Amino acid sequence: MITAVGAPFLYLQKAVQDRGGLPDRTLGPLVLPLHGTALVKVSGDHDGFAQEVLRHDGPATVCLHIEDLEHPEIYSAWTDAGHHVISAGDRRDPQFLGRILWMMASAQKVVSNRMSTALLYASAAGADVEIYGPDFQLGQNAETDPGLRMQELWPEFYEHSPDNVELKRIADMELGVQDMKSPDELKSLLGWNSPSIGAFWDYWASGPLEKAQAVLGLRKRPEGAHSGEASLSPIHFLRHPLKHLPSPLPTLTPAVAVEAVRLKESGRL
């Protein structure tokens, strides 16, 4: 019942590359600390991580998640250590993925303290990748934190001196380079040739309901799904109800790599 089509990042990267629009690698080291969400919080030593990056790679550019930018102590931990902070913006921004592509294509090296999708993007874009630093805890329960499992699944990314040629091979496989389809194939597979009542229902009603049930632990989560959000109280969920509701799909601009958001001194976008 599933057809693999490859990650959207790959399609954007190919479209921009075909147009000759990928930036030069002039950014230097780029750091993406493990981040949480409005529901699942991350606890960890940002000050210690910032100092370790400074010793290991020198002054770097740090991409903070929009949720982390709401915490002045996280922003100042990096800027006080001499690093420059940027952001990809809100995940619902139609330019979000374009900013991610700009960063991965611009950075000479991408660093994180845990395996993440961003590292797969970085490797697929041809950047060197390295994992080091304090391992932050994701969620309130250490037993549901998938950190150790991720290290078991992708040990190559955790090596002291990783083989970046091998990492790119793995990233291409994980993101689905072999599964990419032509525009006509995608239109047919995704039902874009004609309006679909089923797709409308899934996006506006069925999907949000299933997500809410999974977050609250009211339904069994799929095997391998992240469990850090399970068993949260309804009160916790209702603090951020709009975070899980769909929004009208934006009109996309032409496929381009978009420079990351430069932050003001206050740490605001």
Q: What is the pLDDT of residues 5-48, one digit of tens each?
A: 999 999 999 999 999 999 999 999 999 999 987 777 889 999 99
User: What pLDDT is recorded for position 240?
Assistant: 64
Burial of 137 (0-12, 13-18, 19+ CB in 10 A): middle
User: What pLDDT is recorded for position 225?
Assistant: 46
Q: Mean pLDDT over residues 211-220, rounded?
A: 73
Q: Mean pLDDT over residues 252-263, rounded?
A: 82
Q: Mean pLDDT over residues 186-195, rounded?
A: 86
User: Strand locations in the chain, DSSP E?
Assistant: 28-31, 42-43, 61-63, 84-87, 107-112, 128-131, 137-138, 261-262
Instruction: List, in order, residues 6 or more apart from 220 with CB less than 8 Å away.
Output: none
Lowest mean pLDDT segment, chosen from 59-68, 123-132, 223-232: 223-232
Is the pLDDT at 202 greater than 60? The verdict is yes
Is residue 40 within 8 Å of residue 236, measured between CB atoms? no
Instruction: Read off the pTM.
Output: 0.85
CA 157 – CA 146 distance, rounded (Å): 15
Q: Mean pLDDT over residues 96-110, rounded?
A: 96
